[in-house]
Each structure stands twice: as C-alpha cells, then as structure tokens.
Chain A
Amino acid sequence: MAHFQVSRLLNSQVLSLELLAGRNGLARTIQSVDVNRPGLALVGFYKNLAMDRIQVFGRGEHSFIEEMSEMQLQAMRKSFFEFAFPALVFTHGQIPRKEFIESSDLTATPLFVTRLSTHDFIANYSHLISEELSSSITIHGVFTEVFGVGVLLTGTSGIGKSETALELLERGHRLIADDMVRIKCLSGNELYGYANELLEHHMEIRGIGIINVKDLYGVGAIRKRKQIELVIHLEDWDATKEYERVGLEYIEQEILGTPVAHIVLPVGPGRNMPILIEAAAMNYRAKRMGFHAAKDLSEKIGKEIKQKKEGGG
C-alpha cells in the first residue's frame, strides 16, 4: 500500500499549511484519503475512531476546545493524544490553546494550521492525497500529446520513439515524458502519465545526447501531465504478422487494471511515423466525437449490398 509522509504536506501550496508543533512526528505517514472531524473524540467518545486519518478541526471543534474548563481540557489531552494520529489540522487560521500545542509537541503529533476554510482544505487535501496514494507504475516509452490526445509510444529500445517524438514536437505537439513514464490510475478508471521530476523535459537522442526540450522548443512544447488515451506500439515490420486493416474497433490493453485503446504501428521504409501517429491521434479524436470512418463506410457498403440484392432480386 502506498503511503505519504506527513512532512510532504508542507510542500503543497494548495494546502497552505504552517507547522505549529510536533516537528518530531513529521515522519509519520498517511495511508487513507479520508479525513476525520474529531468532534466525538473531543467529548470522549472513541469507539470506531478513524485514528489513521488526519484530524481536521474546523470552527466548531476549535470553539469547543476554547470553551473547555482546565480540567476538561486536561482529561481530553490525556486521552486524545494517546492515538498516534498522522496529523492534526486547524482551519480558518485558528490557533488552538497553548496546552493543546504543548501536548502535540510532547507526543510528536504534527499540528498544522491553514488559512483555508474547512471545506476548501478537505477538498484540496482529498485531491492531493488520492493522487499521491493511487497505484502507479513506471514504463519504458515516450508520452506525447498529439492534437490534444495523450499518446503513449512504446516499443523496444532503438526503434525510434524519441526521434518520432522530436518530429512531433517540431510539428507543434507536446512532450510529457521521454523514456520513463510514470503512470497513475486516478478516480478508478483514468490513467495519467507524468515525467520523473528529475528528468522532466529532457530527452535522449542517440548521436546527439541529452537535450532540454523546454529550452530548445519553448514552454509550449511541454506538459506536466496528461491523461493517456491511446497507446501506440512501434515495432519492426514483420511480413508474417497481420496488422489492422479496417479499424472497426480498438484492441484494448490494460494498464494498472484500466483498459486503454491500443494500436500496433509497424515501422518500415516509406512509413513516416510522425505523420502516421498524427493520423492515428486524429482518427481517435474523430471516433470519440462520433465520427467513425470505418463504421460509416461499413454501413454505407452494407446498404449498397442490400439495395443490389433487392434490386437484382
């Protein structure tokens, strides 16, 4: 199971968190995308407490703690901090009482405050964590955006994936990742491809070496991430193999358990790969928009045959 270290929450600008206490607990990990509002725990009801989630203190929880008597507060601190929560977050920029902060430090429970409203914080947090915790794999390939379609090029080393991508860039398309593509499955059925953070925008072209696509082709030529819609596998032309001739439907390939359209393009003399990939991407777009060339032609021919049969008797 993937996990996310609490310290990394501080890097996220959308959460705008500030650490108040419990620095020693920053190595704790988050394994759940859910959050918990600890209202019931504050009044001493701990049954079924979701202790593996971060605890979000909104206006209600904050004012409840404010109005506790010294004795109540002490009792609450004693039992509440027994649980090794991944983190505690106060929203609306509200700072809790100093006794509460002390307990966080003593038990090494990271305590944060954010200026966001509870709703905004939870929405941003869920989005961030579900992306971070989703299953991911890294595969060998080049990921490009062609006419707005996320096209993942795969094939053996040296088949010309990077060279093809370079020509696609020259033709105004975009690069997301070269060589190593990190793929994540988000919201259960959408595949997204990313570049490795260290290598992003860099490409290796045999004979030239490593180039920086952003510097050479500009910011318009790159993208951070993109949904993978079409996988194009490049392979050496094999005369004994049958390639798709009609294209009535896509063969699907599974990545991380999610089906994605897949085509095999043979590489051979006189086959200009970038143009073929553009055509495949455009055809994919057309199909998605309801214009299906193979199906339309097939229907037209079916009608023609039927007419001839009826006419000719």
Chain B
Amino acid sequence: MQSVQVTISHKDGMHTRPSSVFVREAAKFKSEIFLKSNEVSVNGKSIMGILMLALGPGSMVELSAEGPDETEALQVLSAVLSGDFK
C-alpha cells in the first residue's frame, strides 16, 4: 500500500468530467485505488464515490493504491488530480 497527498488544482474542482477521467484511468490498473478526504475513504474506481467527496479546487486528498501496479497507478492518478494529465 502506497499513498500520496495531492492538492486538487482543476479550476472547478473534481466535478463530473475530471472525475470520469479519473475513474477511467483508475480502472486501467489492477491495484485497488482509494481516495480519502475528511476521514471519508472511497473507492477510486467508482465515479459515485469520487463525486460524493465533492472535492473543490485547492482541497487536499490522500490518494492510495494497493496491488501489483501501485507505483504506476499513483503516478498517473496523482497527475489526473493535480491537473497535469494530458
């Protein structure tokens, strides 16, 4: 299990579109992906979970992955959250 703290830098926060990009990318990994904010942890492969967190721009979130490809997963997914993903 590895985890990183990421700041959301999408200017509108994690609304439906960035969230759907996130789950699409998360689903490509074998590892289990979790996002945690304010003590609430959700499954990173579920769009409903991410929408529930309602992450605004600038909010901090703990991204964690557990599984065979956890290192790559964290790299790609933290880029999605911080807005560097192309």
Asked if B42 and A138 make an inter-chain contact with CB atoms under 8 angstroms apart, the answer reads yes
Asked if B52 and A199 make an inter-chain contact with CB atoms under 8 angstroms apart, the answer reads yes
User: In the complex, what distance in Å separates the CA atom of A178 from the CA atom of B47?
Assistant: 11
User: In the complex, what distance in Å separates the CA atom of A140 from the CA atom of B35?
Assistant: 13
Number of A-B pairs, beta carbon distance below 8 Å = 35
Which residues 34-86 of B have a CB within 8 angstroms of A? 40-43, 45-49, 51-52, 54
Of A178, A180, A198, the most chain B CB neighbours within 10 A belong to: A180
Asked if A198 and B40 make an inter-chain contact with CB atoms under 8 angstroms apart, the answer reads no
Measured between beta carbons, the chain B residues less than 8 angstroms from A202 are 48
Measured between beta carbons, the chain B residues less than 8 angstroms from A199 are 48, 51-52
Query: Chain A: which residue is nearest B40 at the CB level?
Result: A138
Chain B count of residues within 8 A CB distance of the other chain: 13
Measured between beta carbons, the chain A residues less than 8 angstroms from B48 are 178-180, 199, 202-204, 210
Partner of A204, one of B40, B41, B47, B54: B47
A11 at the interface (CB under 8 A from B): no
Measured between beta carbons, the chain B residues less than 8 angstroms from A210 are 16, 47-48
| A114 CB to nearest B CB, Å | 31
User: In the complex, what distance in Å separates the CA atom of A180 from the CA atom of B41?
Assistant: 10
Query: Chain B: which residue is nearest A178 at the CB level?
Result: B48
User: In the complex, what distance in Å separates the CA atom of A198 from the CA atom of B47?
Assistant: 13
Measured between beta carbons, the chain A residues less than 8 angstroms from B52 are 180, 196, 198-199
Asked if B40 and A140 make an inter-chain contact with CB atoms under 8 angstroms apart, the answer reads no
Given contacts A138-B40, A138-B41, contact A157 B51 (CB under 8 A): no
User: In the complex, what distance in Å separates the CA atom of A196 from the CA atom of B43?
Assistant: 14
Query: Chain B: which residue is nearest A140 at the CB level?
Result: B43
Measured between beta carbons, the chain A residues less than 8 angstroms from B42 are 138, 140, 180
Which residues 199-254 of A have a CB within 8 angstroms of B? 199, 202-204, 210
Asked if B45 and A157 make an inter-chain contact with CB atoms under 8 angstroms apart, the answer reads yes
Query: Chain A: which residue is nearest B41 at the CB level?
Result: A138
Query: Chain A: which residue is nearest B43 at the CB level?
Result: A140
Measured between beta carbons, the chain B residues less than 8 angstroms from A157 are 43, 45-46
| B56 CB to nearest A CB, Å | 13
Query: Chain A: which residue is nearest B16 at the CB level?
Result: A210
Asked if B46 and A140 make an inter-chain contact with CB atoms under 8 angstroms apart, the answer reads yes
List 13 A-B pairs, Cβ < 8 Å. A138-B42, A140-B42, A140-B43, A157-B46, A179-B46, A179-B48, A179-B49, A180-B42, A180-B49, A196-B52, A210-B16, A210-B47, A210-B48
Tell me the A residues contacting B by CB distance below 8 Å.
138, 140, 157, 178-180, 196, 198-199, 202-204, 210
Q: Which 3 A-B pairs have the closest CB atoms?
A: A179-B48, A196-B52, A157-B45
| 7 additional A-B residue pairs with CB within 8 Å, beyond A140-B46, A179-B48 | A138-B42, A140-B42, A140-B43, A140-B49, A179-B43, A180-B42, A204-B46
